[in-house]
Amino acid sequence: MAGTLTFDAPDRWNAFLYREETASFGDGVLAGVPVAIKDNISTKGMPTTCGSLILEGYVPPYDAHVVTLLKKAGAALAGKTNMDEFGMGTTTENSAFGPTTNPVDTARVPGGSSGGSAAAVAAGLVPMALGSDTGGSIRCPASFCGIVGLKPTYGRVSRYGLVAYSNSLEQIGPLATTVADASLLMSVIAGYDRRDSTSVDRPYAHAPSADIRGLRIGVPEEFFGAGVDAGVAERVRDAIAVLEDLGAEAVPCSMPSMASALAAYYVTCTSEASSNLARFDGVRYGPAVDTRQQWHAAFREFRGDRFGKEVQRRIMLGTFALSAGYYGKYYAKAQVARAQVRADFARIFVDADVICGPTMPTAAWRLGEKSDPLAMYLSDILTVPANLAGVPAISVPCGRVNGLPVGLQIIGRHFEDERVVDTAYAYEQEACR
């Protein structure tokens, strides 16, 4: 793909960081279709900054596997989209390049960390985009912006070329205006890649079906517990009722591990971030460190100046959790809690084919409204379990509360992404009639 790169922040949503102004594309299922790429997915000859000053000027010499597949499918890469720095955030306010706003209401956040990709789709700048999901980073902005976002089963889409934040949790996936478009994009990017040791040979070639007769839907009581807005809960229960009218059966269930899932997630992801982000030292990536100083002083100054506050916070939390004397108290216990989450999903999926609940506890809040990091972390409570277990999950719009979109989250068994997509498609087709 040939083109001219420009820094781009003039559009009202600040969705794009860099754009490809001219493009050439070939034949394929996405021939000529504009697709936006989250800025933590490597693109040859195009800046990839992860929304961070520490990668200022970095231009990858290679394409991520998903980008190679998009080019083979004939897609026109529209540009790189804004994001929370290194994927650490729920609002896309943590970007070094400024926040992205929600096209539904520009006074509100678009969700994160794939907020730029979601905003670009919701604003009609592109019909589809790629994001990455570590603890809800595709599904959260999909919910807040009123579009569709799919987190595939872990391993079904190659992570080669995705700048690592938390290796055991993150997964690249599609955002789109419709379930059918998300499914189409998924069919392009899924499949085995030998360069990714977590990759599984499970291609995706699926035309969504609205026939869900006999489907059993698990409805965990914890997904409607404390902190979930009453209006959001009502819209989601209405959506489940629509699925029942289409022939599905709702099965009440319980997921006790939700009590520790959020803590397990944050200990795990910050620990992996502490390890992964050690490479950004002013020597291997980004602007050069001041070599006139002693190495440790230069390293400390470089990272302190160029990492944002949230990234610094998570690195420190992860380093503490992995330190001598605390590993067993935090990281090891988090893995026990993670196993309990997996066990709960396995138990529920004996009697249910999918699980339904809200994607987010509330609709999008105002820019700057949540300055307390703990309050921000608590908003991830409904999305992180799917990442801890590695199962597929999708968010599909299911109405509005006070004019703001609400997302229905549908979670499935490992490698049953197709069933998750069909359930979302059935609801979408009925709701849009």
User: What amino acid positions are annotated as catalytic residues?
Assistant: 38, 113, 137
| Residue of 382, 318, 386 lying closest to 140 (CA atoms) | 382
| Residue of 265, 13, 240, 27 lying closest to 129 (CA atoms) | 13
* Amino acid, res. 100: T
* Omega before 199 within 30 of 0, i.e. cis: no
At residue 220, φ and ψ (nearest 5 deg) are -70, 135
At residue 118, φ and ψ (nearest 5 deg) are -65, -45
What is the spatial distance between Cα 9 and Cα 17, in angstroms, rounded to a whole number? 6
The count of other CB atoms within 10 Å of the CB of residue 378 is 14
Task: Tell me the two tokens of residue 3.
Answer: 């083109």
Under a CB-based contact definition with an 8 Å cutoff, are residues 70 and 188 in contact?
yes
What is the spatial distance between Cα 291 and Cα 405, in angstroms, rounded to a whole number? 50
Please state at what angle helix 331-351 crosses helix 258-276, rounded to 10 degrees. 130
Task: Tell me the two tokens of residue 63.
Answer: 């394409």
